[in-house]
Amino acid sequence: MLEPPGQNRAEQNPEGVHEKPSTSVIFEAVRRDGEKELSRPFGANWWSGVVAGLAISTSVLCKGLLVSILPDADWTDGVSNLGYTVGFLIVILGRMQLFTEKTITPILPLFLTPSLAKLWQIIRLWSIVFVANLVGCAAAAWVLVHGHLVSDDRFAGVVAVSRKYAEATPLEHFGSGIPAGFIVAALVWLLPRMKSAGEVLIIVILTYMIGLGDMSHVVAGATELFILVARGELAPVAALVDGILPALAGNVLGGTGIFSALAYAQVREEI
């Protein structure tokens, strides 16, 4: 019986897997994760996606809290964006379903064995996780606005962060969404070779750069837009058309169209 591509290499050289895995071994690890995700039942993907949407809102909350206590200075963004990493740490280390991670994991199986059935599985997974993420973000935004979880002085920082995100045009959301999607896909690619401490460090570094660069991450950004919707400052249609969909397109282009395609291209001949 034939083994999946890359499996023999990983099993024959387990030391390489743990110390310094080759690109083809990393590809195989990510591909296997993708196969598992494609076969998960609806309920597992849905509820994991909702929880991820709720959890990613802590990135907006923590960044906003830091903004509320820091002075208006040139270095403020350098510190406040450390808060932006919190939600990603919770979601990624908690193995929750975040849409932007799915721009690479289920795509690699499709690159390896293209088929309409596999494409349909990906569309199904993307649809479930994306909608679930948005539901979680909307719920978190409503609670943050109407639940009075933090004082008005502290929440003012969250609102300021949200307003700044909403100021970007659809084209700007699309353009800045491309590097954000690329970085998240790169993060997923790197995680198989990381140990526990390394996982935390690489998540913090890469997601910190997304925040520092004012890049558009469709899920975290949705929380910011939904906060303004809940406050009556932004129409729901405007949040969707002007912010969420352009960021979605940019994230998919950066994660799937660029990083995933290049990742497959570099190992195609080896596998």
- Please check the confidence at residue 112 and state whether its pLDDT lies above 60: yes
Angle at 65 between CA 61 and CA 70, to 5 degrees: 150
Structure tokens at 220: 């975290």
pTM of the model: 0.88
Domain boundaries, the chain: 22-267
Average pLDDT over residues 52-61: 97
More confident residue, 24 or 73: 73
Give the span between the Cα atoms of 249 and 175, in whole angstroms: 9
More confident residue, 19 or 246: 246
- Tell me how long the chain is: 271
Q: Do the Cβ atoms of 101 and 190 come closer than 8 Å? A: no
What is the CATH number assigned to the segment(s) 22-267?
A: 1.20.1080.10
- Please check the confidence at residue 17 and state whether its pLDDT lies above 80: no
Mean pLDDT over each residue of the chain, to the nearest integer: 90
Residue type, 197: A
- What confidence category does residue 90 fall into, taking pLDDT thresholds of 50, 70 and 90? very high
* Torsion angle of the four alpha carbons 26, 32, 37, 41, in this order, in degrees rounded to the nearest 10: -160
pLDDT in tens, 20-50: 667 888 888 888 888 888 988 999 999 999 9
